[in-house]
Structure 1
Amino acid sequence: MRSLRTGLSLAALLTGAAMFLTAPAAHAADTPLRDLAAAQGKVIGTAVTGSKLTGTYGSVTGTQFSSLTPGNAMKWGTVEPTQGSFDWSEADQIVAFAQAHHQQVRGHTLVWHNQNPGWLTNGSWTTAQLSTLLQNHISTEVGRYKGAITAWDVVNEAFNEDGTLRPTLWSNGLGSGYIAQALTWAHAADPDAKLYINDYNVEGVNAKSTALYNLVKSLKAQGVPIDGVGLQAHLVLGQVPSTLQQNIQRFADLGVDVAITELDVRMQLPATNASLAQQKADYKSVVAACAAVTRCVNVTVWGFTDSDSWVPSTFPGYGAATPYDENYAPKPAYYGIAEALGGTTTTPPPTNGACTATYSVSSQWNTGFTGQVTIACSGASLSSWKANWTYGAGQRITQAWNATCTQSGAAVSCANASYNGSVPDGGSVTFGFNGTWSGGNSVPTVTLG
């Protein structure tokens, strides 16, 4: 389905947090999702990028969610890029933030076929060597965060779509028993952490989820420490499996917890009022299915804001997959989650501030860069537009397209061309530019004039 599903595309990494309009005032008065979830005996989480845990991104993260999943920070390729040389900086940052905000942390992920360091994947290992490497990795990482991690996605994406075991470095080198070994090693490193097997396209009853079900049943019978199953739930608009709740219940009946671990619902762009309404229904359906099963303990969205989503770079033409837009305003999907958790909030109508401007840097080199601004409308429209911002790090625009841009000192103003001034409800336009930078290339705040 995907390899890099962390919500951290190059554009998103370079862009940083897009904070251009204030979230609707009604949102501030809503009961936070974490409080609604707690009242239902559930945990609501989000995947996060450690470097962004400041400003509005940090505020929403700390206020709305009771669990954090590091998007990239705990993967093998991040923590040990060179054999024996470790980098725990972002992982430590996320754990510290969670502790300061009384949040759980979901460790992600210990054993996966992707995002492993090159020294590991390019090495020539005997079975004994590979086993030792995996055991040491699990023992080191789980041991470092002993007592700080509530649950670990120990083994990630072990199956093919037909339910057969996926051929990977681990299954090829260690055989099918690597899953039981990994769980056993993780339990030894932190006996109190909940241990999960996590996979995608296992939300409904199908060949793949049945293979996972049979594996968990077998592991339980063998006495292997397995506490839960993670259903990733990377969904397409309007395609929530009808057997979702039934599937959650059958895993729960095995005596394990269930978590929705990476929920998002992607749609074809541009988003329309109709697609946003369907997305709200889809989010509500998924969360309600979890809420209906006692042992479904956690729903985690894979990034809460569209500016931090992996979808656009992986599925061209698709996006808008998360509960918040790129400007940190809650979308109808947010209210779908709230309603499924017993909230009584109503979606505010898309009135003031329905047209937004999002600045991003698509590539950067030496002292040059290419950037773009996307103007999108929902519940409103424009017949002409002007985007304004002020650079704070010595940037200068040298060339622009699809807009007429002028710069005076640090102040930039870009107006529509003769052919793209109209932005309909549900539509968007994008203009681009080349520029130079010195000392830094920080992301400015954009306003529409």
Structure 2
Amino acid sequence: MRLHPHALRRTALGLAATGALLIGLATPSALAQAADPVLRDLAEAKGKYYGTAVTASKLTGTYADIAGSQFNSITPGNEMKWESVEPSRGTYNWSGADRIVDFAEAHDMEVRGHTLVWHSQLPGWLTNGSWTADQLRTLMTDHITAEAGRYKGRISHWDVVNEPFNEDGTFRQSLFHSKLGPSYIADALRAARAADPDAKLYLNDYNTDGLGAKSDGMYNLVKSLKAQGVPIDGVGFQGHLILGQVPSTMKANLQRFADLGVDVAVTELDIRMTLPATDAKLAQQKADYRAVTDACVAVSRCKGVTAWGFTDSDSWIPDVFEGQGAATPYDENYRPKPAYYGIAESLGWTGGGDPGPTGSCTVGYTVTSQWNTGFTANVTVKNTGSSPVGGWQVAWTYPSGQRVTSAWNATVTQSGAQVTAANAAYNGTIGAGGSVSFGFNGTWSGANTAPATFTCTTR
């Protein structure tokens, strides 16, 4: 769970006579309002795109609505990688990739193809094979021909070769480099050009965002490819960043590549933090997202920025970096975070920043029964404002390792000690002075200490 982005003043009201812990706090608008910015419109006005990576199976409901309305470029998170499209030799599965391309076209979006040649997420039949250099080169170029050819004319940019460098700027000893040497990169670019002459062809890597050894390696490669007449149109800078660590040289780095005569783009932006999220961390994240977008806006050949997932519910960070997350512009319940407004401000929005408080609510928490290693709890959300609210969310951190196992009358998610509960489809509306309740079962061991504070937000 990621705490709501517009973190709030927390005021403990003490224990009620029933033993329920009550926490009252001011609450902000939880979803983007009608007057809020549309990132794709702002980006287009700057001659850029603002994109997002997506998961094909999630392209429905609110997820699809936000992806299609806020962004004008889309990147398949996994659906175009080799193991996804050719899991066994000569047998193709295009369903996920087709769904994303179809969605993009239905919503007037560009598609960034990701990725044709990468050392990771390769099918077992390829990595376990005993190939000669000529055989591997043919397999690689045939794969590029099949995939780029299938989507000919429908992909605006291809990440042709992904992550070819080590941190020191030397070439990564991937399957392809180990067998073919660095010439595989030029071969891949030429094959992609032949398969789809109109697509822009990119190299893409991480930790190349600022000046340094790794970006120097990429710079020297691009310079060499250009000198050889190899078709290369752009360089992607992934932008998987840590809170407060946007490189100060990012703009200068993008510009030096542009000066080589290639386009540049930020292709996989997320900015992770150690959880839980706080006001200060979210404010820093807003500044960081704005700084990255500013760097792109300032470089004329920077074509755009792509967030690697727009919602924390579809982010790879918590699965890879333990205790970290909240890396995207929207929280797990599709509420825009301060980062969303930082992006908009960089793109020229002057709407005045995050929406301010619009209501208030209190939370009552009661353990209604407890046994050996289990318990049942009831939570009451009361609207203490003067107007009805149309939705609510409650968040808390368990101090004693408790785990929620099942819930009713709310959608409850848990990540580590942090828990988020959001209204069900039928009980989001609470009249002024009214309340709703939800419950859940959980487990405990050693102690079942009540949470010290709650975050309660409404919309």
Q: Which has the higher contact order (CA 8 A, sep 6+)?
A: 2
- Structure 1 residues 131 and 352, CA gap change in structure 2 (3 angstroms): farther
- TM-score using structure 1 length: 0.77
Shift of 1:190: 0.5
Shift of 1:25: 5.4
- Structure 1 residues 94 and 218, CA gap change in structure 2 (3 angstroms): same
Q: Secondary structure at the match of 1:328?
A: coil
Question: Partner residue of 1:214?
Answer: 220
Determine which of 62, 77, 83 is the counterpart of 1:71.
77
Query: Is the CA contact 1:354–1:377 (under 8 Å) kept in the aligned structure 2?
Result: no
Question: Partner residue of 1:199?
Answer: 205
Question: Partner residue of 1:9?
Answer: none
Identify unmatched segments of 5+ residues in structure 2: 1-26, 364-392, 398-403, 412-418, 420-436
Determine which of 226, 245, 253 is the counterpart of 1:247.
253
**Cα deviation per residue 1:314-355 (whole Å; 9 max; x = unaligned)?**
000100000000000000000000000001131123665899
Query: Is the CA contact 2:28–2:358 (under 8 Å) kept in the aligned structure 1?
Result: no
Question: Partner residue of 2:395?
Answer: 376
Q: What percent identity do the matched residue pairs reach?
A: 63
**Superposition pairs for residues 124-273 of structure 1, below 5 Å?**
124-273=130-279
**Cα deviation per residue 1:119-163 (whole Å; 9 max; x = unaligned)?**
000110001110110010000000000000000000000000001
Distance 2:141 2:317 in 1: 33
Q: Which amino acid is the alignment partner of residue 439 of structure 2?
A: S
Q: Secondary structure at the match of 1:235?
A: strand
Alignment of 1:422 onto 2:448: no
Distance 1:88 1:143 in 2: 13
Distance 2:451 2:209 in 1: 43
Distance 2:146 2:123 in 1: 16
Distance 2:133 2:254 in 1: 36
**Cα deviation per residue 1:378-405 (whole Å; 9 max; x = unaligned)?**
9xxxxxx9x953699xxxxxxxxx9xxx
Query: Is the CA contact 2:31–2:335 (under 8 Å) kept in the aligned structure 1?
Result: no
Identify unmatched segments of 5+ residues in structure 1: 1-20, 357-373, 379-384, 393-401, 403-410, 427-446
- Structure 1 residues 271 and 179, CA gap change in structure 2 (3 angstroms): same
Q: Secondary structure at the match of 1:344?
A: coil
Distance 1:22 1:109 in 2: 39
- TM-score using structure 2 length: 0.76
Q: Which amino acid is the alignment partner of residue 213 of structure 2?
A: A
Question: Partner residue of 1:367?
Answer: none
Question: Partner residue of 1:347?
Answer: 354
Shift of 1:298: 1.2
Q: Which amino acid is the alignment partner of residue 414 of structure 1?
A: F
Distance 2:318 2:252 in 1: 31
Shift of 1:194: 0.1
Distance 1:302 1:350 in 2: 29
Q: Secondary structure at the match of 2:303?
A: strand
Determine which of 321, 326, 333 is the counterpart of 1:320.
326
Distance 2:180 2:362 in 1: 54
Distance 1:193 1:246 in 2: 26
Query: Is the CA contact 2:32–2:335 (under 8 Å) kept in the aligned structure 1?
Result: no
Q: Secondary structure at the match of 1:154?
A: strand
Alignment of 1:114 onto 2:120: yes
Query: Is the CA contact 2:29–2:355 (under 8 Å) kept in the aligned structure 1?
Result: no
Query: Is the CA contact 1:107–1:151 (under 8 Å) kept in the aligned structure 2?
Result: yes
Distance 1:248 1:144 in 2: 31
Question: Partner residue of 1:280?
Answer: 286
- Structure 1 residues 112 and 303, CA gap change in structure 2 (3 angstroms): same
Larger Rg: 1 or 2?
A: 2
Q: Which amino acid is the alignment partner of residue 376 of structure 1?
A: A
- Structure 1 residues 377 and 165, CA gap change in structure 2 (3 angstroms): same
Distance 1:339 1:241 in 2: 20
**Cα deviation per residue 1:213-232 (whole Å; 9 max; x = unaligned)?**
01001101111000000000
Q: Which amino acid is the alignment partner of residue 355 of structure 2?
A: P
- Structure 1 residues 377 and 285, CA gap change in structure 2 (3 angstroms): farther
Q: Which amino acid is the alignment partner of residue 108 of structure 1?
A: H
Distance 1:253 1:282 in 2: 25
Q: Secondary structure at the match of 1:106?
A: strand
**Superposition pairs for residues 282-431 of structure 1, below 5 Å?**
282-345=288-351, 346-349=353-356, 352=359, 376=395, 389=408, 413-414=439-440, 419-424=449-454
Distance 1:43 1:100 in 2: 17
Shift of 1:422: 3.0
In terms of fraction of residues, the more strand-rich structure is: 2
Q: Secondary structure at the match of 2:33?
A: helix
